[in-house]
Amino acid sequence: MDPTWAATLSRRLDRHHLTEPAASAADVAAATCGVHAQIRTAAELSIGQRLAGATRDDVRAALWDTRELVKTFGPRGTVHLLPTRDLPSWTGALAAVPRPLPSFDPSVRLAPAQLDEVVAGIGAVLADAELTIDELDGALADEVGAWAVERCMPAFQDLWPRWRQAVDTAANRGVLCFGPDRDRKVTYTSPRRWSPGFVPAPGPEAVTWLARSYLRSYGPARPEHVAQWLSVPKPWAVTLFETLTAAGEIEPVGEAGWVVAGDTAFPPRAPRGLRLLPYFDAYVVGSHPRDLVYPGAAAERALARRQAGNYPVLLVDGVVAGVWHQKQAGRYVDVTVEPLVELSAARRRDLDAEIERIGAFAGRTPRLRIGPVAVGPHA
């Protein structure tokens, strides 16, 4: 029997801790299958919106003090915050999923043997260090050879050293993660420095874990949804679902998609609540079908070339119902909200509560304006 769309939304809101708060930052990152962290402040707010009374400093402490989070390269080769406790499964899975060939000229591209050599070199030089990009250049020139640091890789109207093609692969294989910034410069280090004994899980076991984790957070879902989330070929995802279904790991629920085997309960209530989600929040990036998550005018206003996450969104009852933007101004945080639906008196009270929560998280006094958002999508 197919669950209703309303029941699916209620379940996802619950699973993503958008109805009841999580106990810890690590629990948030686990429940959402990673927190997109290309924009640091947005990642922090994604977590803060799912914890009771959290501040930005609390989230940063979870990353750099208690180390319950790790900043690394996750799905789609993008920067994510992941639970440190799940890093063996994440790295095992991401190292095993198919990856597209880099679009560089063959003379620039790392051959498979060269990629292995560079990844091994990165692991060696980061084993006991936190290094900036420039420091890694020098260390890899000594460890691997001059060919690895040749500036031949086109990037942002510049040429980067060849080894930088291997950064996300090194992270996926478990030899690299981000260290704390040093003088506004990014550093990299080895996750083994913070997690002694860390070893990536075996590939097949880890891929099963990742598929089940995604379905627990976003199900019911279909193979094409997982393919888009991981940026892998759809046929690979179709085969994965067939294999996991045959093994009894997952099961279909009508035409809606698949869930983890036995995880077929859906809340009886309608989806409820109003939330302000930042750039690239996992809920909207991972949720499908896209046209139902972004209904009507939301698809035109809040998607960028059909991509989700490029705008912060107003979420009403589990679907996108507007966009918003925040700007810090001294001791204030100015929040502009552009609803695409009429807000009832009750919804306005919910919005006021959200604004207060965002102000408390930032440690600033919030000021709300309802009207058009002039800021365009984030690239």
Helix and strand tally (H, E) in the chain? Answer: 15, 15
Check if the beta carbon of residue 19 is closer than 8 Å to that of residue 50: no
Structural domain spans, the chain? 274-370
Nearest in space to 116 (alpha carbons), one of 135, 95, 87: 95
Using CA atoms of 189, 190, 192, 195 in order, give the dihedral in degrees to the nearest 10.
50
Beta bridge mates, 131: 188
**pTM score, two decimals?**
0.95
DSSP string, 334-379: EEEEEESSPPPHHHHHHHHHHHHHHHHHHTSEEEEEES--------
At residue 350, what are phi and psi to the nearest 5 degrees?
Answer: -65, -40
Predicted confidence pLDDT, tens digits, the chain (379 residues): 679 999 999 999 999 999 999 999 999 999 999 999 999 999 999 999 999 999 999 999 999 999 999 999 999 999 999 999 999 999 999 999 998 777 778 888 899 999 999 999 999 999 999 999 999 999 999 999 999 999 988 888 888 999 999 999 999 999 999 999 999 999 999 999 989 899 999 999 999 999 999 999 999 999 999 999 999 999 999 999 999 999 999 999 999 999 999 999 999 999 999 999 999 999 999 999 999 999 999 999 999 988 999 999 999 999 999 999 999 999 999 999 999 999 999 999 999 999 999 999 999 999 999 999 999 999 7
